[in-house]
Amino acid sequence: MATKSKAYEGSQQEYGVVWERNVMMPVRDGVKLATDIYYPATDGKRAGGKFPVVLERTPYDKQSAVNVTKGKYFARRGYVCVIQDVRGRFRSEGEWYPFAHEAPDGFDCVEWLGTRSWSNGKVGTMGDSYCGSDQAALATMNPPHLSTMIVAVGAANYFHSSMRQNGALEQRFLIYAIRMAVTSKEAEADPVLKAELEKAWTQNIRQIVDKFPLRAGTTVLRRVPSYEKWAIDILTHGEYDDYWKQRGYAPDEYYEEHADVPSLYLGGWYDTYPRNTTESFVELSRMKKSPQRLLMGPWTHGQYEITNSGDADFGVDSHIHYHDLKLAWFDHYMKGLHTEFADWEPVRIFTMGTGSGRRNYDGRVEFGGWWRSEKEWPLSGTKYTPYYLNTGGVLTTKKPAKSAAPSTFTFDPKNPVPTIGGSMSAVEPIMVAGAFDQRGRADFHGCKDTMPLNTRKDVLTFQTDVLPQDVEATGPIEVRLWIASSAVDTDFTAKLIDVHPPTDDYPDGLAMNITDSIMRARYRNSWEKPELMEPGKTYELKFELFPTSMVFRKGHRIRADISSSNWPRFDVNPNTGEPLGVPQAMLVAQQTVFHDAERPSRVVLPIIPERSAGTGQNGPGTI
């Protein structure tokens, strides 16, 4: 006779809410941080007793509608909910230099909250993006009252796979500096400056991007000095030095000191942090005793309740109710209730790609997918399979011929390949995240026509034969390119693509981007000590694409596109070898990609045996 499982429990909406605005919490250097506190209430007054505390620290205005809703949601369910403006933003004192102070400021905040008369001493943290990364930073200082964390789309290391990626700059952060300056304290104090910043953001941002790299004193950012300094710093700090090893930028440098508390790492395949998210889970699971959990969906940045990423729709099962998910986590780890997390395996992921491929009523591709539970990441039994680049644009698991001729193209940094979707935190209208057919679009910045990107002479395409059966790739992905260049420094890009066959809905078929990345050649041997190349000499470049979980369906093809630019997502390499971020002349580079037996360029895919391809370990289902 089967044993009946215990019913799930959860906090009910049993309280009213009262709040305090702009409580000025002191930190160690005397700066005071503006803090809104939402209390459970009875009969319009703060409820008696002690409560667990949930905290979010944000640069995006603690009094925004979404944050007020969040505060009330948790207070009504028996938590004191605290939302705080980080240093230098909105009502908090001090100067904002992104991430620099979040470790000590966050530590002081957790400890202050853990010792209040209305606190039971347990403080849980939550938040997404910046608000996920500032949790990781404070956790490196191991505050005694930290009880648990929900780190959503946050960083483990901003140098290796966020602000910079394999040596190249993600230019969205330069755009981010301008967008954030619109709501700076300087702008709020000066209506003329605010109007100038709003004009830069709403009317002139395309022209500003076209003139990158950003130069000090040449844009309206000059009037918001700390914002401009940060933008120039991340642009010009190309090496992995002490600047990048600060706690706020590189929590992974301090994992030995990191708090050992139950933590949920939540990310999306089309988000900007899937590599950071999975790596945080892997390393902290190995090092800590507390439960560490990983949840990866098909989402773009923070869009957990949206079922599409770009032009791909994953169905209603891909949606989660984010507040309910967080409540279930806190209820289990802060109140000891038997919620769904009592029964979760360490890893919960959404595997994409099993939909019909038809156009739905929203005009998107039915990409489909399913949720599955696993005991580890990467998955056990993964077969890391080389897919070799071969002459004639072939991608195959067969090793190339000994005498195969290389592929060549010309890279002109003045005419870069435009960005069409991808795994990123997009800054619209300049860039849009997600999966898109890889052809030009008038509404995507940098596109000059509507032709497929691989019709360009500077894009090399390698694809498999039509797949005779489903092929699942779930896990980290490595690229190894044997290259030569006429330049002393240059970039190479790789993009993994799902090629759909022609249908009535899509007579030309589709080429949907799955994941990609870039590698700056000067960093091929060291992130700390760049080395220029000798023109014409052969080198091997090794770099990671962002991880994914994807089924390439029977009748589709797997494709890899190789080029030297992906703009404006990444800064364009001028091919001169001069210091990064400095405006300079641009040189055209002649690029060679080898794919012979002695120099076998390849994409190494994490192929999952047929035990789960197409169905999932636990079958179709929801979170």
Q: Report the first-to-last Cα separation within the chain, whole angstroms.
A: 27
Indicate the pLDDT class of residue 618, thresholds 50, 70 and 90.
Answer: very low
pLDDT higher than threshold 80 for residue 2: no
Domain boundary among 351, 375, 399: 375
Are 76 and 12 spatial neighbours (Cβ–Cβ below 8 Å)? no
pLDDT tens-digit map of 590-600: 999 999 999 99
Whether residue 219 is found in the same domain as residue 313: no
- Residue 250 is assigned to a structural domain of this protein: no
Clarify whether residues 277 and 356 are in a common domain. Answer: yes
- pLDDT in the model for residue 611: 56
Task: Find the domain containing 394 and state its range.
Answer: 383-608
CATH of the domain at 422: 2.60.120.260
What does the mean pLDDT of the chain come to? 95
The answer to whether residues 291 and 179 touch, using CB atoms and an 8 Å cutoff, is no
Residue 83 maps to a domain: yes
Which residue shows structure tokens 């092929």? 471
**Average pLDDT, stretch 444-448?**
95
Report percent pLDDT > 70 for the chain.
97
Rounded Cα gap, residues 284 and 428, in angstroms: 34
pLDDT at residue number 3 = 45
Would you say residue 416 lies in a domain?
Answer: yes
- What pLDDT digit, counting tens, does each position of 501-517 carry? 999 999 999 999 999 99
Q: Which of 350, 375, 400 is the last residue of a domain?
A: 375
Return the pLDDT at 399.
Answer: 93
CB 14 within 8 A of CB 69: no
Distance CA(345)–CA(285), nearest Å, equals: 13
Residue 406 confidence (pLDDT)? 97
Domain final residue, candidates 375, 391, 408 = 375
| 434 & 563 share domain | yes
Instruction: Kindly state whether residues 370 and 412 are assigned to the same domain.
Output: no
The predicted structure's pLDDT at residue 426: 67
Confidence (pLDDT) at 622: 55
Residue 6 within a domain: no
Instruction: Tell whether the model's pLDDT for residue 43 goes beyond 60.
Output: yes
Same domain, yes or no: 589 and 513: yes
What is the C-alpha to C-alpha distance for residues 474 and 499, in angstroms, rounded to an integer? 17
Question: Residue 617: what pLDDT?
Answer: 45
Would you say 553 and 351 are in contact if contact means Cβ atoms under 8 Å apart?
no
Who contacts 287 (Cβ-Cβ below 8 Å, separation ≥6)? 255, 256, 258
- Distant-in-sequence, close-in-space partners of 222: CB < 8 Å, separation ≥ 6: 216, 228
User: Do 132 and 82 fall within a single domain?
Assistant: yes
Any domain includes 621: no
Q: Name which of 323-332, 343-352, 573-582 the model is least confident about.
A: 573-582
Query: Both 289 and 215 in a single domain?
Result: no
pLDDT at 4 over 60: no
Are 220 and 196 in a shared domain?
A: yes
Residue 460 lies in a domain: yes
Look at residue 623 in the predicted model and tell me its pLDDT.
67
Q: Are residues 28 and 58 in the same domain?
A: yes
pLDDT in the model for residue 614: 41
Query: How many structural domains is the chain composed of?
Result: 4
Q: Which residues contact 199 (CB under 8 A, 6 or more apart)?
A: none
Return the pLDDT at 615.
Answer: 41
Does 186 lie in the same domain as 304? no
Top pLDDT among 401 and 536 is at 536
405 and 350 share one domain? no
Kindly tell me if the per-residue pLDDT of 158 is higher than 90.
Answer: yes
Q: Does the pLDDT at position 548 exceed 80?
A: yes
How far apart are alpha carbons 48 and 363 in whole angstroms? Answer: 53
Q: Is the pLDDT of residue 620 over 70?
A: no
pLDDT at 582 over 80: yes
CA dist 258 and 109 (Å) reads: 17
For residue 496, what pLDDT is reported? 98
**Residues 433 and 483 placed together within one structural domain of the fold:** yes
Q: Cβ(387)–Cβ(335) under 8 Å?
A: no
- 4 lies in a domain? no
Please state which of the ranges 145-149, 214-218, 426-430, 434-438 shows the lowest mean pLDDT.
Answer: 426-430
Residue 254 lies in a domain: no
What CATH number is associated with residue 290?
A: 3.40.50.1820
Task: State the pLDDT confidence band at 92, using cuts at 50, 70 and 90.
Answer: very high
